[in-house]
Amino acid sequence: MGAIRFGTDGWRAIVADEFTMENVRVVAQAIACYTIEMGQQEQAILVGHDTRFLGRRFAEEVVRVFTANQIRTYLVNEAAPTPAVAFGVKHFAASGAVMITASHNPPEYNGMKYIPHYAGPATPTITKRLEEWIARIQQSGEVRTMSLAEATARKMLQVIVLRPHYEAHLRRLVNMEALRHSSLEVVVDAMHGAGLGYVSRLLTEAGVKNVGIRETPDAAFGGGLPEPNDKHLTLLKNEVISRGASLGLANDGDADRFGVVDRLGQYIPPNDVLVLLTYHLIKNRKLTGRIVRTVATTHLLDRMADEYGLELVETPVGFKYIGEHMLEGNVLIGGEESGGASILGHIPEKDGVLINLLLAEMCAVEEKGIDEILRDVYDLFGELFHTRLDIQLPEKDRWMNEMLTYPPANIGPFQVREVNRVDGIKLILDGGQWVLIRPSGTEPLIRIYCEATSATALEKLKDSIRDWFLEVNV
């Protein structure tokens, strides 16, 4: 049995390879031991799952372990979004939650997320402790289990309905009245994931004309990836265009990420969505607070923070770092370029359902399309151009260590003005350009994030990086 490691957002593996009932029980036992160690065993713990293969069965296996460890367990009655389960931690005053999901990974994967009592992603300190417990349990083989029938008889297991409570919370965060008075027509793409019916149902309640696509549970996700990016939202784009809809909204497999298509069928990158939301919250909601972004996220948020007189905080990659700042309070918006965000008044966990509803609200209030609002933002703050390059590099760790020790003075025609080592290495270049270099945690890849002040500068930057890596690999 190999070592089980928690990545940026939980443990994920291929079903029947590493993600087995036996390993799920080991991780559940580790979480039970951690819960007891923290003195939280008197509180209940939540268990949820998405629409993936054997999701319910894996969730029940977690329940069997928790209840055998004398920890009362609330099992969510149906497939549910990760943010809904995280909200449930607060709503039911639980010690935490386990979510069975592999998020946007391919269908053959499944995974486990541990959500502590504060209703956000587990910090590196917590996941390190869980890994220590896992290693100990793998060695001893001591895993306790109880049948579901016995757990129910002993009142250690309760099946709960979570959806109405989460939806009530969303109604408090979204301007439903603005939606009621709009003439929007929205296409909602659940991508066969756990968010099916959530966005479309609340839009319908507000009187917004909408149509749902891929709103049936499918463990194979229609043969694709439940990742709401430009590549995988072709169906949504075509539906928006054919219907003449105002916008298209999508969620990933566990609905913690968002995907957006404008009325022209154009994909709106998450960087631009974060900028739009910030603009809407400040201009139309009259809200203030800190803007928190990861090191890989657009600096257009920095320009907005300067203009509005707000504090800008940069974190390492991973929403758990944004969540830590949200727990401190006074965060207007926290977001990452990979499609995760949360706002003031919400849990410190990314929530694609909420973000989609807020985007519909923004269009209703502005009485404009997303493309028009984005142009307004560019007119006020300028436009930045961004991309990500993935470069194969077998000896990535050795190369990264050299890079961190001896960063370059130039990348092509661009001079390095500042070196940032918050996460990987970020090179701030002259003219307002920047490059972030990080190793992949799972593949022999180097991920390179680039942002430039013009499309021409971005192309020059990309060409310079490719030439640079050709030299590296000679």
β partners of residue 73:
45, 157
Rounded Cα distance, 86 and 312, in Å: 26
Specify the 3-state DSSP secondary structure of 339: coil
CB atoms within 10 A of CB 469: 17
| CA–CA distances in Å: residue 368 to residues 236, 268, 284, 373, 379 | 20, 15, 13, 6, 15
For 87-142, strand residue ranges (E) read 96-100, 109-116
Q: What is the pLDDT of residues 165-206, one digit of tens each?
A: 999 999 999 999 999 999 999 999 999 999 999 999 999 999
Asked whether the domain spanning 174-381 has the same topology as the one spanning 11-162, the reply is yes
Q: What is the pLDDT of residues 136-148, one digit of tens each?
A: 999 999 999 999 9
Cβ proximity of 83 and 113 under 8 Å: no
For residue 17, what is the DSSP state?
Answer: T
Using CA atoms, how far apart are residues 82 and 227, in angstroms rounded to an integer? 15
Bridge partners (DSSP) of residue 385 are 452
Q: What is the pLDDT of residue 9?
A: 79
Tokens 């500068």 belong to residue: 457
What's the confidence (pLDDT) of residue 474?
Answer: 37
Q: What is the CATH number of domain 174-381?
A: 3.40.120.10
DSSP 15: B
pTM: 0.95
Nearest residue to 446 via CA among 397, 386, 387: 397
For position 435, what pLDDT does the model report?
Answer: 96
Report the distance separating Cα 92 and Cα 196, nearest Å: 23
User: What is the residue extent of each domain of the chain?
Assistant: 11-162, 174-381, 385-472
Q: Beta strand pairing status for 73-76 and 157-160?
A: parallel
What architecture (CATH level 2) is domain 385-472?
A: 2-Layer Sandwich (3.30)
> pLDDT (tens digit, 0 to 9) for every residue of the chain, 474 residues total?
578 998 777 999 999 999 999 999 999 999 999 999 999 999 999 999 999 999 999 999 999 999 999 999 999 999 999 999 999 999 999 999 999 999 999 999 999 999 999 999 999 999 999 999 999 999 999 999 999 999 999 999 999 999 999 999 999 999 999 999 999 999 999 999 999 999 999 999 999 999 999 999 999 999 999 999 999 999 999 999 999 999 999 999 999 999 999 999 999 999 999 999 999 999 999 999 999 999 999 999 999 999 999 999 999 999 999 999 999 999 999 999 999 999 999 999 999 999 999 999 999 999 999 999 999 999 999 999 999 998 887 778 888 888 888 899 998 899 999 999 999 999 999 999 999 999 876 667 889 999 999 999 999 999 998 887 766 553
Fold assignment, 11-162: Alpha-D-Glucose-1,6-Bisphosphate; Chain A, domain 3 (3.40.120)
**Placement of tokens 């972004």 in the chain:** 293
Helix axes 352-366, 163-173, angle to 10 degrees: 30
How many CB atoms lie under 10 A from the CB of residue 259? 28
Alpha helices, DSSP H only, in 6-79? 21-37, 55-68
Contact between 51 and 193 under an 8 Å Cβ cutoff? The reply is: yes
Say if residues 317 and 334 touch (Cβ distance below 8 Å): no
pLDDT of residue 368: 97
Q: What pLDDT is attached to residue 15? A: 96
